Amino acid sequence: MAKLAKYLTILGMLFNVAWFLWNPEGWKFEWEPIVAFTLTLAGFIAADIHDKPKETTSPNDIALFKKFQECLPINGAIKFIKEHDFLGSFTIEEISPFNRFVYEWENPEHEFIDIELEALRKELYGLIKEFTQAIGRYSSPNSMGRQSVRVHSQEGIPEFEKKFEQEAGIINNAASAVEACHSNLIRVGRKKLNLA
């Protein structure tokens, strides 16, 4: 149907050009054929735009996005790093989804086809890697079986307390960057993939 509309519009444009050029009494300038030609051209452009295929959503991207949401749900580890101050202690289990993400999500099976989503996934991957490296660099197990930037034997000593605060600040900043990028990926993914 759209092709028929385009052909009829082209025919209408040709008719308007002939109307503009042909005059049995001698040629003179007239506005009506030009206006009719312009309207017909606008109709042709509208039909052409309407006829272009809409960008389709990849079923693979939808499945991968759902898998991503299961791996890093908003109410799981993401909520933990958003609310936790890493000057306090934490368990390895609370951050294990990030270690799993770094281990499992750097391969072609976990790449989005959509360019924008893939760019966000790569950015998030890099931020999570920085976060997990900061955890590894600045925290260690304490006597209660938890992780902490504080070393028990150095607690209460002012120069070490300042060092602990700086190290916790580095981890907190990395966690905030992860949470912000994750939220952005969720928003963009829902919009692009038409998910509620």
**Residue that is written with structure tokens 């907190």 in the block:** 172
Q: Distance between CA atoms of 63 and 113, rounded to whole angstroms?
A: 11
Asked if residue 120 lies in contact with residue 97, where contact means CB atoms within 8 angstroms, the answer is no
Which residues make beta-bridge pairs with 147?
90, 141
Taking residue 17's Cβ as centre, other Cβ atoms within 10 Å add up to 15
User: 0.75 exceeded by the pTM?
Assistant: no
Q: Distance between CA atoms of 104 and 99, rounded to whole angstroms?
A: 9
Mean confidence (pLDDT) of the chain = 84
Q: How is the chain split into domains, by residue range? A: 2-51, 59-192
Tokens of 193: 């993939």
39-82, pLDDT tens digit by residue?
A: 777 777 777 666 554 557 889 999 999 999 999 999 999 999 99
105-127, pLDDT tens digit by residue?
A: 999 999 999 999 999 999 999 99
